[in-house]
Amino acid sequence: MTGVATKVLYITGSGRSCTTLLGHILGQAEGFCFIGEAMHGGRGLSTRRCGCGVALPDCPFWQTIRREAGDGPVGDDRQFFGLGRLARWRHLPLTLLPDGHRRLRTLYGDHWHRSQRLYAAVAAESGAEVIVDSSKAVPYGRMLSLMPAMDVRVVHLVRDSRAVAYSWSRLKPAPDRFDDAHMRRRPRGLAASFWLASNVGAEVCFGRRPGRYLRLRYEDFVEHPRESVDRIVRMVTERSVELPFIDGCRVELRPTHSVCGNPDRLQTGPVELRDDKEWKTAMRLADRRFVGALTWPLLVRYGYGAARSRGGTSTILDSRGARPAS
């Protein structure tokens, strides 16, 4: 491993918030490599397709990475992506202590060092300046940010909790998997709880990192995708980067080497970004009210519902930690 820190753009937030598509778009930019949800890579690579379309064990890119970064059998997924299995919410308080990184290094042992080698190997093999990881989980992202060999910037993508809960309730095909025909579903209460924990955790762990954290609403992203992606890119690199936009709301997607995530990561060709508002008509009123009641403090904070006019703007902190003037 070289003395240069590996630059990682970590996408956090609740599941079903369009994080995979955002990562997929960023992965098209020159010097960016999208690897999907690396945290979940240890949950059986043999059951998934790489974003390039082939079975993950047969992907030449990941075969090379595993040879370069691994110190165990090539087929040992749990060892290769071990930190993702170990990163848990119960360990999060440790990461907030002044000597947290030393305690975690002792707790996770070889997995701590192996994870740093993994991202360094991806950067070396892809030639990318920035590795885009859409794992979302706050504990995993926090641990990456404490590693001395990692330079982590965070995009916090927020979506209306009611839209998220509705998305979790839908039966969605999973063409990227060999072991299950559909994506996992969650009941409304559990989806709302995860939404709260994910967003509060993201703000606590990353929100006070001036110039290294950007909060972006899903609705702002799909309404102004080019401007949103440009802001993210400028947070991680000073060089000019060509973005994959055909026009204001359409992008041209090429295959990436993502290991896990929403099956939309397999999409290629022209894709139009639009606000999915199906939940507003298809979700039962009782369910909307239930999820809204559970999550209302953050709904207000992010400007949803009646509070839309009192905030909800996307936020990026400048080098002094101040919000830019509107």
**What domain range is 40 assigned to?**
6-276
Helix (H) or strand (E) holding 65: helix 60-69
- Residue 10 in domain: yes
Residue 319 within any structural domain of the chain: no
Q: Is pLDDT of 323 > 80?
A: no
CATH code of the domain in which 208 resides: 3.40.50.300
Query: How many Å apart are CA 206 and CA 3, to the nearest integer?
Result: 24
Give yes or no for residue 318 having a pLDDT over 50: no
Specify the number of domains making up the chain: 1
Establish if 1 belongs to a structural domain.
no
Q: What burial class does residue 111 get, using C-beta atoms within 10 Å of its C-beta: 0-12 exposed, 13-18 middle, 19+ buried?
A: buried
The Cα 255–Cα 24 span in angstroms is 9
User: At residue 74, does pLDDT exceed 90?
Assistant: no
Per-chain mean pLDDT for the chain: 88
Q: How far is CA 271 from CA 51, 57, 199, 303, 311, in A?
A: 16, 28, 28, 28, 30
The predicted pLDDT at position 44 comes to 59
- pLDDT at 103 exceeding the cut of 90: no
Is a pLDDT exceeding 60 seen at residue 218? yes
Cβ count near 282 (within 10 Å): 10
CA separation for the pair 231, 274 (Å, rounded): 19
Mean pLDDT along residues 154-179: 93
* Average pLDDT of the residues in 72-95: 68
Give the pLDDT score at 228: 98
Q: How confident is the model at residue 316 (pLDDT cuts 50, 70, 90)?
A: very low
Encoded tokens for 315: 């936020």
Q: Is the pLDDT of residue 130 over 70?
A: yes
pLDDT at 83: 66
The answer to whether residue 71 scores a pLDDT higher than 80 is no
| Residue 43: per-residue pLDDT | 62
Confidence of residue 160 (pLDDT cuts 50, 70, 90): very high
Taking the CA of residue 307 as centre, how many other CA atoms within 13 Å lie in the half-sphere pointing to its CB? Answer: 14
Average pLDDT score over residue span 156-181: 92
Task: Give the DSSP per-residue string, 282-320.
Answer: HS-HHHHHHHHHHHHHHHHHTT-GGGGGG----EE--TT
Asked if residue 325 belongs to a domain, the reply is no
Answer whether residue 118 is part of any domain. yes
124 within domain boundaries: yes
Categorize the per-residue pLDDT at 104 as very low, low, confident or very high, splitting at 50, 70 and 90.
confident
Residue 158 lies in a domain: yes
Q: Is residue 70 predicted with pLDDT exceeding 80?
A: no
- pLDDT score for 303: 96
* Lowest mean pLDDT across 20-34, 163-177, 240-254, 298-312: 298-312
Sheet hosting strand 150-158, strand order edge to edge: 32-36, 130-136, 6-13, 150-158, 213-217, 315-316
Q: Does residue 90 surpass a pLDDT of 70?
A: yes
Q: Is the pLDDT of residue 73 over 50?
A: no
pLDDT at 91: 85
Distances (CA, A) of 298 to 36, 200, 221: 27, 8, 19
- 296 falls within a domain: no
User: In one letter, which amino acid is 17?
Assistant: S
How confident is the model at residue 79, as a pLDDT?
A: 55
What pLDDT, on a 0 to 100 scale, did the predictor assign at position 321?
39
CA distances from 273 to 11, 193, 220, 222, 227 (A): 18, 27, 11, 6, 13
12: its two tokens: 């956090």
The whole-angstrom separation of Cα 249 and Cα 210 is 29
Q: Check if the beta carbon of residue 44 is closer than 8 Å to that of residue 284.
A: no
Q: Is the pLDDT of residue 296 over 60?
A: yes
SS (H, E, C) 132-199: EEEEECHHHHHHHHHCCCEEEEEEEEECCHHHHHHHHHCCCECCCECCCCECCCCCHHHHHHHHHHHH
Residue 311 has pLDDT above 70, yes or no: no
The mean per-residue pLDDT over the stretch 159-172 comes to 96
Contacts of 15 (CB under 8 A, 6+ apart): 136, 164, 168, 194, 198
